[in-house]
Structure 1
Amino acid sequence: MGLRQKLIILRNAINFSPWVYTLTLVVLLVLLASPIKLAIKANKEDLERSSQTFLNTSLIKGFISFNSEKSTVENLEDCGEIPSDTICHKPTSEDTLYVEEMNLFPAMRTMNFWLLFVAMLCGMGSGMATINNISQIGESLGYTSVQRSTLVSLWSMWNFLGRFGAGYVSDIFLHRRGWARPLFNILTLATMAAGHTIIGLGFPGNLYLGSVLIGVCYGSQWSLMPAITSEIFGVLHMGTIFYTIAVASPVGSYIFSVRVIGYIYDKESSGKGNLCSGSHCFRISFFILAGVSLFGSLVALVLFIKTRRLYKVVVLRRLQNSRRG
């Protein structure tokens, strides 16, 4: 919706020739097709390494079958004895690694799964509640219809910048400095709490500043969460695990949009024709959302502490091995 609105605004402001639309279509088709080359290249590399990977996996499985008491790696440093193409993962405790990828149900029995779920509920749920009500918030604060439409359109831009920026920045710091990706989840949720607080204060222009912070951080969550999921639980069942965790987003959106913002708005507007004007209409709601985002940041901190050794040894070693390959 945001992209469509921006195109409509440009079309109304500038009279484009038919060839411009044709050129735009061609460029978009090229951009959409560009990932095909990457997929073909990755598939070729996988085929070249498949025989060696199969051999390494067979050796590991044979070792585990031969001596079940040594099927777990008691110390993280022991992962150095495992062939580089085999991935170690941590399903239950901080001191035990298994040579296997995890599927949904074992993942759901770990604390890491539910820490990710709660962090997503707090971050994406509060972010969705903001975008669902941003037009009504602007109306209560006296913003014009053009300003409210602009806010909705700008949100999509901040959302995109967050998705691209968080993925790019977290990759750089993970590869170059070894910073675990959950650290950036902590920062984005804390910044989102600041954005909710700004909207709750209700000063002039607060929606522009608050929506920038929340929009960027909301997009960042959608970039960071899938990467963190794959790094903790593996890639074989990453789609199933991540989208099960992502159920937290609509659940949080319903709770915060209907049970928090909607309830408090109706309470503030009682006896006023179901309309509420002034900063008080959403102040308490967004202070609550700020607290929720701050709690999510603390949850992400717990996840960071629990997975810091996993990132230090397993994930970083995997990256080093991929560079050598």
Structure 2
Amino acid sequence: TPAPPPLVFFSAAKAAARVLTGSISEWALSSPKYALPRPAFLVIASFGGCAAHFLLGMATSEIAFVIGVALSGAAFGMIWPLMVLIVGECFGADHVGANYMFYDGVTSAIGTLILSKFVTQEVYESHIDESHGDVNPYNDGATAGGGTAGDGLTCYGEGCFQLSHFIVAGLSISCVISSVALMFNTRHVYENRSI
């Protein structure tokens, strides 16, 4: 069976961002006109992630959902090549493997556990109302906050994941702040590279 369109858009945007981010950030860093340090692209990716999840939380149409998914894929795709490059430039190549395992392995495991298991699951399950199993998005009884298909396990509506998207958007704002701090704290690494 073919992949659902949102998954295709997420994957295509992620792949394009991974391919283009390194080249564009290198060009912007080497350009005398711009001389942008590489962490500036982390700021861009974090803003993109924030906008994507805010849009996904507010999406009421299919086009808004697809745009949010594609923007989320692009932001996600930008992060990982940037992290490899920034860690190598700031800390050297001697310990790239250990550093990579820290920011990819540890943070991914903790983030997945907290955001996927606890936050998203709790938000989803809080919108399942077993006493009102007749609420369904395909009839007039559907509610904007989400309802169930009657099985006590399924939730329909924007409320099922809306708070989860807003929480991730809030975390993305913290990424913007930490990326700006990283940009200023590592500017000495990049000052000589732009010449």
Coarse TM-score class (shorter-chain normalised): 0.7 to 0.9
**Identity across aligned pairs (percent)?**
27
Show the counterpart of 2:164: 285
User: Does residue 1:230 correspond to 2:85, yes or no?
Assistant: no
Structure 1 CA distance, aligned partners of 2:59 and 2:158?
5
Structure 1 CA distance, aligned partners of 2:189 and 2:27?
18
Unaligned runs of 5+ in 1: 1-7, 10-145, 321-325
For residue 189 of structure 1, report the CA deviation from its aligned partner.
0.4
Q: 2:100 aligns with which of 242, 248, 271?
A: 242
Letter in 1 for 2:6: L
Partner-residue secondary structure (3-state), 1:194: helix
Q: 2:42 aligns with which of 182, 185, 191?
A: 185
Show the counterpart of 1:260: 119
Q: Deviations over 1:139-173 (max 9, x none)?
A: xxxxxxx7xx1211232111101101211110100
For residue 309 of structure 1, report the CA deviation from its aligned partner.
2.0
Greater C-alpha Rg: 1
User: Does residue 1:304 correspond to 2:186, yes or no?
Assistant: no
Structure 2 CA distance, aligned partners of 1:308 and 1:160?
28
| Length-normalised TM-score, structure 2 | 0.82
Q: CA RMSD in A?
A: 1.6
Show the counterpart of 1:270: 129
For residue 283 of structure 1, report the CA deviation from its aligned partner.
1.1
For residue 221 of structure 1, report the CA deviation from its aligned partner.
0.4
Structure 2 CA distance, aligned partners of 1:229 and 1:268?
41
Runs of 4+ in 1 over 6 A off after TM superposition: none
Structure 1 CA distance, aligned partners of 2:114 and 2:13?
24
Letter in 2 for 1:195: A
Aligned counterparts, 1:115-194, within 5 A: 149-177=4-32, 178-194=35-51
Partner-residue secondary structure (3-state), 1:215: helix
Show the counterpart of 1:75: none
Q: Would you say the 8 A contact 1:202–1:283 is kept in 2?
A: no
Structure 2 CA distance, aligned partners of 1:287 and 1:244?
26
Q: Deviations over 1:181-234 (max 9, x none)?
A: 001001110111000000000220222010111001100001100000000000
For residue 176 of structure 1, report the CA deviation from its aligned partner.
1.3
Q: Deviations over 1:243-289 (max 9, x none)?
A: 22212122212211111111100011131412111111111111111
Q: Deviations over 1:50-71 (max 9, x none)?
A: xxxxxxxxxxxxxxxxxxxxxx
Structure 1 CA distance, aligned partners of 2:22 and 2:109?
22
Structure 1 CA distance, aligned partners of 2:112 and 2:176?
18
Structure 2 CA distance, aligned partners of 1:171 and 1:270?
52
Q: Would you say the 8 A contact 2:43–2:180 is kept in 1?
A: yes
Unaligned runs of 5+ in 2: 131-147
Letter in 1 for 2:113: Y
Q: 2:76 aligns with which of 210, 214, 218?
A: 218
Distance 1:207 1:250, change over 3 A: farther
Greater helix percent: which structure?
Answer: 1
Count of residues in Structure 1 that have an aligned counterpart in Structure 2: 171
| Length-normalised TM-score, structure 1 | 0.50
Show the counterpart of 1:294: 173
